[in-house]
A and B are shown apart, each in its own frame.
Chain A
Amino acid sequence: MASAIARSGLRTALRGGVRVNPSATRSFSSGASVEEEAREAAKWEKITYAGIVACSILAFVNLSKGHPHFDEPAPYPYLHIRNKEFPWGKLFVIQI
């Protein structure tokens, strides 16, 4: 107990002498400072915006193409398998 008080007093004295800015360091981190984290946040913000721009262009290109149409395939036995009714009622086919 006494040694803990002594250590705490020593720490306070040291802080007073060295003037460490407590907001500049984090106790529970891999070591990066708040400034470094802010720079990383700004970097990833820019990467996100670049991603959003790229996705928007691609989305525009894809949507302006219209949707594809496919020919009806031959009735092979492994296609369009219907063995029993769905739990909500009769067999149903989604017509697109």
Chain B
Amino acid sequence: MIESQRHSYHLVDPSPWPISGSLGALATTVGGVMYMHSFQGGATLLSLGLIFILYTMFVWWRDVLRESTLEGHHTKVVQLGPRYGFILFIVSEVMFLFALFRASSHSSLAPTVEIGGIWPPKGIAVLDPREIPFLNTLIPLSSGAAVTWAHHAILAGKEKRAVYALVATVSLALVFTAFQGMEYYQAPSTISDSIYGSTFFLATGFHGFHVIIGTLFSIICGIRQYLGHLTKEHHVGFEAAAWYWHFVDVVRLFPFVSIYWWGGI
């Protein structure tokens, strides 16, 4: 098939995954709202929707990997599409997280009388930023160094070293998540403790969620590197994971400085 093609573009085959993903998203949204309002069957619909989305993600990405590795459709010009798409996705993520950090600064720069006119609000004890918060900023940065090591190892054709580097990346990410879990467990406040708790757990929680997504992305890249999918000329999936990982570790600096440190003084 590829021999008869006279251009370098990938004309995709019809696929059921866009509609199945959309139906899964609809079921998840409706099921989620029903569940949170204690409607009967809400939990079932939510679970079905999530299973549908996870299944769609698996089979859709499986198809993309087959198109790339077995069918060779991802020519240099085709690779531009996912690159631009992923850059735009990260830009939208920056805006999303900016909104959460801005919610915190909006509430803390001029604290209202209802919370005592001070920040942190009266009665709120805060964590020492020099303890776990600082450690949990250093860990993602070290993990970012490890993913850069992996990138150069791939470009140098050192396949085994790249796998080791990705193992280091993922291990550091898992240690981060463990410490974040410990910090939440020991935290003196909860998400229901004033605007401080709401903004603190929303911002750090969504950052933690992004770390988990980046960890899964890096694990997939490690497996693909081990299987020999990534070459020194063609490793778009890895590049996207590395961009995402750098985005996640740079974003961590903002809650560390503005929420843990400045917001805790």
Contacts and interface: CB of A to CB of B under 8 A. Distances in A.
B172 A52 contact: yes
A79 B123 contact: yes
A85 B185 CA distance: 22
Interface stretch (A1-9, A11-19, A43-51): A43-51
A45 B138 contact: no
Interface string A19-38: 00000001111001011011
Interface stretch (B57-65, B127-135, B221-229): B127-135
B199 to A, nearest CB: 13
State the main secondary structure of chain B at its contact with A. helix
B6 to A, nearest CB: 14
Q: How large is the interface on A (under 10, 10 to 19, 20 to 34, 35 or more residues)?
A: 35 or more
Contacts of A54: 138, 142
Contact of B192 (A29, A59, A82): A82
Contacts of A71: 125
Interface in B170-198: 172, 175, 179, 182, 185-186, 188-190, 192-195
Nearest to A38: B156
Contact of A79 (B36, B155, B156, B194): B194
A87 B43 contact: yes
Given A38-B152, A38-B156, A48-B149, 14 more contacts: A26-B232, A28-B234, A34-B155, A34-B156, A45-B165, A48-B146, A51-B142, A52-B168, A55-B172, A55-B175, A68-B127, A78-B194, A80-B193, A81-B192
Which are the 8 A-B pairs with shortest beta-carbon distances? A51-B142, A73-B123, A41-B152, A44-B149, A37-B156, A70-B188, A38-B156, A40-B152
5 contacts: A37-B153, A58-B134, A73-B125, A80-B193, A82-B192
Interface of B: 35-38, 42-43, 76, 114-116, 121-125, 127-128, 131-132, 134-135, 138-139, 141-143, 145-146, 148-149, 152-153, 155-158, 161, 165, 168, 172, 175, 179, 182, 185-186, 188-190, 192-195, 232-234
Interface of A: 26-29, 32, 34-35, 37-38, 40-41, 43-45, 47-48, 51-52, 54-55, 58-59, 62, 65, 67-68, 70-71, 73-74, 76, 78-82, 85, 87, 94, 96
